[in-house]
Amino acid sequence: MLDVGCGTGAITRGIAETVGPEGRVVGVDVNASMIDKARAAHRGVPGLSFEVADVEALPPGGAFDIVTAARVLQWLADPAAALRSMTAAAKSRGRVVVLDYNHEKAAWTPAPPPSMRRFYAAFLQWRAATGMNNAIADHLRDLFARAGLGDIVATDQHEVSQRADPDFEMRAGIWAAVAATRGHQMVADGAISERERHAAETDYRAWLRDGADSHVQYLLAVEGVRT
């Protein structure tokens, strides 16, 4: 199995432990520092290895039963090319599986503070301006068909976070984290001012603590078979 855009490899490790020592699981990521962390954190797991690779330049030759990418295509300007590359890395009758977002369908109850609503709108505009598809989840079926994949099945994998959940502030807090990280790149790119970024981060943290009930991130898992 090939896990593309594995990040620091925690999910890849879980897959390897599920597959067992007879299987081979390879995690790849374009970011070399992620792969360094993955190797350091998960050394010694039988059958598991990590390599630096771009999704558009995967090991050729149709070697894998399953090729997967979770939350990766959302960052790409050319997801169709990525899917073609993933398909080519799968064996004949192998499976390609992608999990991704439609950021246009995220929902908050009650509405988050105006500063975060402005930040989120700017985030979507900034992503679109750099060529990323904010609604990639709902385009995956078409992209799979255009990559020549058959037996395509899509399943809802929406992430619902409720106030009563023990990890609610961490999970729903993703947007404070985005403001604190990507937000600086958005400021550098002129998508938002530092004052607006800072207000969004601060107000959203207060809203999470005092006013938030729930947050839903819209995710689909789509799988198809290499014909």
Interface with ligand SAM by CB under 6 A: which residues? 4-7, 11, 29-31, 34, 54-55, 70-72, 75-76
Identify which of residues 89 and 199 has a Cβ nearer to ligand SAM in the complex. 89
Distance between CA atoms of residues 33 and 103, nearest Å: 27
Least distance from C-beta 133 to ligand SAM, angstroms? 13
Distance between CA atoms of residues 155 and 68, nearest Å: 15
Least distance from C-beta 110 to ligand SAM, angstroms? 27
What DSSP letter does each residue of 73-126 carry, written as one string? GGG-S-HHHHHHHHHHHEEEEEEEEEEEE-GGG-EEESPPPHHHHHHHHHHHHH
Least distance from C-beta 71 to ligand SAM, angstroms? 4
**Residue with smallest beta-carbon separation from ligand SAM:** 5
Helix (H, G, I), strand (E, B) or coil at 203: helix
Identify which of residues 34 and 149 has a Cβ nearer to ligand SAM in the complex. 34
Q: What are phi and psi of 118, to 5 degrees?
A: -65, -45
Least distance from C-beta 18 to ligand SAM, angstroms? 16
Identify which of residues 106 and 199 has a Cβ nearer to ligand SAM in the complex. 106
